[in-house]
Chains A and B, each alone.
Chain A
């Protein structure tokens, strides 16, 4: 009974913390002049916590508490969209592969060839030409689709497994750092990067769940009733695999926050004046004796990640 109460209190506390972080983030978005801009006062450099500065000041004379509040802006505008995109990408890819496997997705041979050739060229050419190659692939594919040709199976499952293996074999931070070096600092680029490197866990989970669900009798019955592939997936398969998927979003959010904070700590991706918990931690390197800087950034970061884990859907137990 007691254990139950503690767990419940923990969940309430976690929810309250996340709500607080969310509110702070909303404030920085709605009132950037007041909450996002942190005043630099060089006459108040590295001050310990006091009545004037509750969490002290950093080596540039910025109030750490204001800096921490301003840092929530990155969570809302960067980590959250990245986590949503990651989850969406993972669910789409996992569901598609779980449904089609290696043989059921077929495409006209010529169309496939043109699209594949454009994809290879896009990889070899400068990044700035990417939109042109996508357009070329679409146009080329559409044009050749009018030619009579045989269809070939796309090994979607093998391709996904290969991509997951590749992303798993390269350290994620290294990959993100390499990709971040290609482009100047921008929020959209960073969201894309995080999503591109974090989707495999969700995709793997969804693929396994969908493949399992497809073996169930009610799904086979749906196919036997003549329902389309998409309808079966949306109406019968996904609702039945939703329970484990609910955990994916908070986990992806925690991963994206950790990765984005690490990047900010290393000074990658964001312009220097933008507040971020990772950057606050990095600034602590300038003043190793300023414990309040480490505490000011590390505690909210740890609390947010912990709260996301605490609020994960509980595994249902059958009696």
Chain B
């Protein structure tokens, strides 16, 4: 009997072990060993509060986590480190947003992620003397944080006034590990309320100065021991201008979650981001199988891949919120009048450009708002026509006279310099077409293709007349203050067109604080009209997110929101598994 029982036990155990092995090996084989992504440029910084470009943001979202994150395919914010969306409570002048952190969430040293870490992160984001202006402005409505004495994972953000966006914006910042970034607990001596209140005297305190010195040490933001959050991936190496390599942590808190779904899955074991500035080289590398993912492909290359290699790649082109714009430096003496700026806008043949560079996939727009967002897009404004004759008339209206040397007026010559990132085919096509149209009316536009880093510097210093660039939007928030408010001009701000006046500032503020959707739409229409008339930037067209992914990968989850795919969710398709 005992022998029979032992035999049954042995068989049962074998079955269990066999099942466990088969399920583990199946899970293992579905997880790609490595995914190689093509980037056109370097992330420039891995400092979690600086984030100079979309690539830095993408890396940051793999290394660190925030309370909420955007689910691209669902086109909405979803909880990430938080268990749920915040509970909202309002009083006369304050809004209370209560969050609960996931009980499973831990740092790499095994300590749980607590409300105190959120407080530390807010202190870093508002600490003076750090390169945190952008995040600080985004979270400027947070006035205080109330901790729950009973529950260390529960806290409430106390916010000034109310705006519907607070519910999502309040959870969209990286939660940082205090034990790594402030091992001496320097910021614990500094009250959060004073930091959130913008108390500038704090910059002179010893604790803040010591923290600034430590945090601003650029070398540490390349050190894998420091650049480490609660995300599933850790930094392995960053060779500037060449590649960034991340590896999945052998032990990540998300592994313990049952039935985990995006954004709490991390399948690929290694992520490699290769910087390939030349599009032709990138296309060649994709064809040779040296790269797996090529997001935001140039239109002609995407069409070529569709024609010749569609058997080897998944090809997606969802409509995105990326808009190609021409910024006008409104503080340059020659470009101060709106009619001069309008004239320059009329020299861009956006319809032809879109046909040539987007192959019928893009969409023209009168403003920075995507026409697909019909509820806010001001469709009564006409698309700006391409008309050199009208442009010449507008220049005359602004006081310019056409002479043998070009357009001049009292001691001024109109010879705008058009800057753009060197090597970008779309920008170069736009620039050449604009120059050609300007030549028709005797206007000299000098083209200045510039290296991306140098261009950022020139734009920051206001040393440009016109500049071509791509803006990344989303459908969640219409807070355009960072781009257009006078408070964002100069040090720390990103209002590079230097546009703005009291009326436009009031309008921008009102748009953010308005709760009533009808009123909000009315204000947004008004803003679009102001921008259309004042023309601080000319929206040329919205680009689709042209994405090519090697056929062996599945669960790509393409979307129109940056980065346009869900790298953590990638799986190997059955046919490609070893």
Contact = CB atoms under 8 A, between A and B. Distances in A.
Interface of A: 37, 39-40, 42-43, 45-46, 59-61, 267, 271-273, 285-289
A61 B279 CA distance: 18
8 contacts: A42-B356, A42-B357, A60-B428, A61-B356, A271-B447, A285-B278, A286-B279, A286-B425
B225 interface: no
B436 interface: yes
B278 A42 contact: no
B420 to A, nearest CB: 10
Interface in B248-262: none
B432 to A, nearest CB: 5
Contact of B436 (A39, A43, A46): A39
Q: Which 7 A-B pairs have the closest CB atoms?
A: A42-B356, A40-B432, A272-B447, A285-B280, A40-B436, A42-B352, A288-B280
Contacts of A59: 300, 425
A273 B435 contact: yes
Contacts of B281: 285
Contacts of B484: none
Contacts of A289: 304
A45 B356 CA distance: 8
B284 to A, nearest CB: 7
A289 B283 CA distance: 12
A42 B355 contact: yes
Interface string B432-470: 110110010000001101000000000000000000000
B433 to A, nearest CB: 6
Contacts of A272: 428, 431-432, 447, 449
A46 B422 contact: no
Contact of B353 (A39, A42, A285, A288): A42
Q: Is the interface of B mostly helix, strand, loop or mixed?
A: helix
A45 B447 contact: no
B434 to A, nearest CB: 10
A4 to B, nearest CB: 47
A273 B447 contact: yes
A73 B433 CA distance: 22
A45 B426 CA distance: 12
A45 B303 CA distance: 13
Contacts of B447: 271-273
B501 interface: no
A285 B276 CA distance: 14
B280 A60 contact: no
Contacts of A40: 429, 432-433, 436
Nearest to B422: A267
Nearest to A42: B356
Interface residues of B, number: 25
A43 B355 contact: yes
Interface in B269-295: 278-281, 284
B429 A60 contact: yes
B216 to A, nearest CB: 29
A134 to B, nearest CB: 30
A37 B432 CA distance: 11
Among B431, B432, B449, find the residue whose CB has the most chain A CB atoms closer than 10 A: B432
Contacts, number: 49
A45 B280 contact: no
A200 B280 CA distance: 38
B129 to A, nearest CB: 32
A287 B280 contact: yes
Nearest to A272: B447
B303 to A, nearest CB: 11
Contacts of B279: 286
Nearest to B298: A286
A273 B434 CA distance: 11
A21 to B, nearest CB: 25
A59 B356 CA distance: 10
Contacts of A45: 300, 356
A43 B356 contact: yes
A43 B356 CA distance: 6
Interface in B289-321: 300, 304
Contact of A60 (B284, B352, B432, B439): B432
Contacts of B425: 59, 286
Nearest to A284: B280
Contacts of B436: 39-40
Contacts of A286: 279-280, 300, 425
Given A60-B428, A272-B428, 15 more contacts: A37-B439, A40-B429, A42-B352, A42-B355, A43-B352, A43-B355, A45-B300, A59-B300, A60-B432, A267-B449, A271-B446, A272-B447, A273-B435, A273-B447, A285-B280
B473 to A, nearest CB: 26
Contacts of A273: 432, 435, 447
A287 B283 CA distance: 10
Nearest to A289: B304
B355 to A, nearest CB: 7
A75 B247 CA distance: 53
B53 to A, nearest CB: 22
A270 to B, nearest CB: 11
B422 A42 contact: no
Contacts of A43: 352, 355-356
A289 B353 CA distance: 22
A271 B444 CA distance: 13
B314 to A, nearest CB: 23
A195 B300 CA distance: 41
Interface string B542-567: 00000000000000000000000000
Nearest to A184: B448
Nearest to B430: A42
Nearest to A39: B436
Given A272-B447, A272-B449, A288-B284, A46 B300 contact: yes
B308 to A, nearest CB: 9
B433 A42 contact: yes
Contacts of A61: 356
Nearest to B278: A285
A273 to B, nearest CB: 6
Interface string B348-378: 0000110111000000000000000000000
A138 B578 CA distance: 79
A54 B352 CA distance: 24
A155 to B, nearest CB: 43
A272 B427 CA distance: 12
Contacts of B429: 40, 42, 60
Contacts of A271: 446-447
A42 B449 CA distance: 19
Contacts of A42: 352-353, 355-357, 429, 433
A28 B432 CA distance: 19
A37 B439 CA distance: 10
A6 to B, nearest CB: 41
Most B C-beta atoms less than 10 A away, residue of A40, A60, A61: A40
A287 B278 contact: no
A152 B525 CA distance: 82
A271 B439 CA distance: 15
B324 to A, nearest CB: 14
Nearest to B439: A37
Most A Cβ at <10 Å: residue of B279, B353, B433: B433
A285 B298 CA distance: 14
